[in-house]
Amino acid sequence: MISFRESLFKRDCFCYDNPWRKNLNKREKYEGADWIMHFIGHFKTITRHKILVAKGCFKLGLYYQGIMHDMSKYSLTEFLVGAKYYQGTASPNNAERMDKGISTAWLHHKGRNRHHFEYWIDYSIDKEHPGLVGMKIPKKYMAEMFVDRVSAGKIYNGDKFDQKSPLEYFEHGIGATIMCDASKNYLLKLLKMYAKKGEKYTFAYLKKDLKEDISGYDKISPFQPFSKNIKIG
């Protein structure tokens, strides 16, 4: 049976073949790692990712989001943790979880970056379904989320990345169970389109949808489940 910590690891990582997962009892080999190399390596990784996301957002006309994407990763709260647990092939947040049982960097990050669906979790106003639930995410942040997932796949998977990678990652994660139906189905539509028709086609569609709402996503009420609203075309 997969442990709780391993399930957390699978949730947020493109590369499942991770040294922190294989060597849970051998963390001492990382404690004496060269901090300078970790510092430089982490800086290069997050900057490469940021540049890649910026290019994608610029293609969609989302210039401000492209510039501001993941700026919090350069804060001391996130950067020092990222450097300490740097691996280069996976998110350091998972390594921090494996070590401490919680990722302080991720808690800081998700509350400041609207392209993460976790940012949009709030208390339900539906008395029949109380508790914390996913809210409908504005389309411009859905677009940034899509670009972020594609870019992260390219960074962490390297030569192993293909058009199906972002979709496969989402299907292995917990997003499908937490996101509201409207946002989940919109993201799935984009990921499936990317997997089947490629980057150029999907970006062209998304850019047009941001301007003209050809999908009908903007017409969906945030107070109703996706299945009872307009079908995303």
Model confidence over 71-83: pLDDT tens digits?
Answer: 999 999 999 999 9
Residue scoring higher pLDDT (178 or 51): 51
What confidence tier does 44 reach under pLDDT thresholds 50, 70, 90? very high
Residue 225's pLDDT band (boundaries 50, 70, 90)?
A: low
Does position 145 have pLDDT exceeding 70, yes or no?
A: yes
Q: Which of 54-63, 97-106, 216-225 has the lowest mean pLDDT?
A: 216-225
pLDDT at residue 23 in the model = 46
Q: Please list, in sequence order, all residues whose beta carbon lies within 8 angstroms of the beta carbon of residue 82, skipping any fewer than 6 positions away.
A: 42, 46, 73, 92, 93, 105
Residue partners of 99: CB distance under 8 A and separation at least 6: 20, 27, 85
Q: Is the per-residue pLDDT at 18 higher than 60?
A: no
Beta bridge partners of 122: 133
pTM of the model: 0.81
Average pLDDT for residues 40-59, to the nearest whole number? 97
State the pLDDT at residue 232. Answer: 52
Choose from 125-139, 173-187, 204-218 the range with maximum mean pLDDT.
Answer: 204-218
| Nearest by Cα to 140 from 122, 114, 165 | 114
Least confident of 108-122, 148-162, 217-231: 217-231
For residues 166 and 150, is the Cβ–Cβ distance under 8 A?
yes
Residue 112 CA to residue 178 CA, distance in Å, equals: 19
pLDDT band at 68 (very low <50, low <70, confident <90, very high): very high
pLDDT of residue 8: 35
State the DSSP H helix or E strand holding residue 168, giving kind and residue range, or none if neither: helix 165-172
DSSP element (H, E) containing 135: none
The per-residue pLDDT for 17 is 45
User: Which whole number is the average pLDDT over 182-199?
Assistant: 96
Residue type, 50: K
Output DSSP code: residue 55: H
Predicted confidence at residue 117, as pLDDT, reads 95
| 13-27, 50-64, 97-111: segment of lowest average pLDDT | 13-27
